[in-house]
Amino acid sequence: MLPPTGATRLAAVIGSPVRHSLSPRLHNAAFAALGLDWVYVALEVAPGDAAAALAGMRALGLGGLSVTTPHKEAVAEACHHLTDDAATLGAVNCVVPVDGELVGHNTDGPGFVASVRATGTAVDGARCVVLGAGGAARAISLSLARSGAAEVAVVNRTAARAEQAVAPLGGVGRVVAPDEVAGPLASADIVVNATTVGMGEPGPDDLPVDPSPLHAGQLVVDIVYRPLETPLLAAARHQGATAVNGVPMLVHQAAVAFELWTGEAAPVEAMSLSVAELLS
Ligand SMILES: NC(=O)c1ccc[n+]([C@@H]2O[C@H](COP(=O)([O-])OP(=O)(O)OC[C@H]3O[C@@H](n4cnc5c(N)ncnc54)[C@H](OP(=O)(O)O)[C@@H]3O)[C@@H](O)[C@H]2O)c1
């Protein structure tokens, strides 16, 4: 990283807690790879203070802001403008200053789709199963539908949240009850775990779904990245499927933000290496 100068641009992530965030690592690696005079820091912002943080971003002239838990919804309300996806989701994870106003984006879905395409798997025409209906699952489901998926089946413990996730998906979305998931899992091209099951220190049976219908030719993504290898990924690989953890999504959602802020093509390889070192 270049030593900061009077001309250095500042970007940041706000969240609570935020100390564990990998975003500073990813973005500073990207700035360094391209020799950009930018610095990225993590800022702890207490719940309830998101609107004040956004006013601060504007006053201080930050070049970009990432937003993580618990501020994504409050930031969506505090931005001057939202993209269609951010408005549909009611959640913002990336703020871009444009002519003195703040535009809220959600890069989780586009980042997920980019990470799938990076494996060589087509999203257009794909049959997809999304496990979970929280913030990440809703963003992923919306982007899969917008990217031409033939079907997006949402499976969630709490049925009402699955209905909410499916509502903006048009004809390609449907709710599948957890006890009816075997058929959709067997016929899926892409299976995504966007629940928190498998996070932390999972036991060997800590699975979001019975993996026995999985098979070769499928892509199974677990968006959890701590740990890198979840019981679902191990089981999917055992069944012959291609298994991918949450790191590529993490990198690609940051890459989309980086490009919005700097106007430069993101150095995805350098960004991946920066977190691989830390997580492995
Ligand atoms: N790789 C990346 O870039 C990336 C980006 C964003 C998030 N993530 C990861 O994605 C995961 C979800 O994040 P989020 O923000 O969407 O969380 P969230 O909004 O809290 O949603 C959590 C989801 O997990 C489900 N769930 C929790 N415990 C469960 C259990 N015991 N059995 C079945 N379902 C359970 C919830 O179901 P109910 O609705 O029934 O409660 C809900 O669907 C986290 O692990 C997060 O770290 C990764």
The CATH code of the domain that includes 184 is: 3.40.50.720
The reply to whether 119 and 203 lie within a common domain is yes
Mutate to test the pocket of ligand 1, among 21, 72, 157 (most ligand atoms within 8 A of CB): 157
Q: Are 80 and 122 members of one domain?
A: no
| Domain presence at residue 1 | no
275 lines ligand 1 (CB under 6 A): no
> Does residue 258 share a domain with residue 178?
no
Q: Does 142 share its domain with 60?
A: no
Residues 100 and 57 in one domain: yes
Same domain, 38 and 144: no
Q: Ligand 1, closest atom to CA 223?
A: 1
Q: Which atom of ligand 1 is nearest to the CA of 112?
A: 3
- Kindly give the number of the ligand 1 atom that is closest to the alpha carbon of 195: 24
Whether residues 274 and 215 share a domain: the answer is: no
Q: Note whether residue 2 is domain-resident.
A: no
Is residue 48 domain-shared with residue 16, that is, in the same domain?
yes
Q: How many Å lie between the centroid of ligand 1 and the Cα of residue 134?
A: 6
pLDDT along the chain (280 residues), means of 10: 89 97 97 98 98 98 98 98 98 97 98 98 98 97 98 98 97 97 98 93 83 98 94 97 97 98 98 91
249 CB under 6 A from ligand 1? yes
Q: CB of 198 closer than 6 A to ligand 1?
A: no
CATH number for 60: 3.40.50.10860
In a domain, 120, yes or no: yes
Whether this model's pTM surpasses 0.85: yes
101 and 126 together in one domain: no
Are 210 and 253 within one domain? no
Residue 156 near ligand 1, beta carbon < 6 Å = yes
Q: Which amino acid belongs to residue 14?
A: I
**Structural domain harbouring 229:** 109-245
The answer to whether residue 71 is domain-embedded is yes
Our answer on whether the CB atom of 279 is closer than 6 Å to any ligand 1 atom is no
Structure confidence at residue 1 (pLDDT): 65
4 inside domain: no
Q: Does 196 contact ligand 1 (Cβ within 6 A)?
A: yes
Given this model, what pLDDT does residue 64 score?
98
Tell which atom from ligand 1 comes closest to the C-alpha of 131: 43
Domains in the chain, number: 2
- Shared domain for 269 and 148, answered yes or no, is no
Instruction: Classify residue 64: in a domain, yes or no.
Output: yes
Q: Say if 3 falls within a structural domain.
A: no
Residues 68 and 97 in one domain: yes
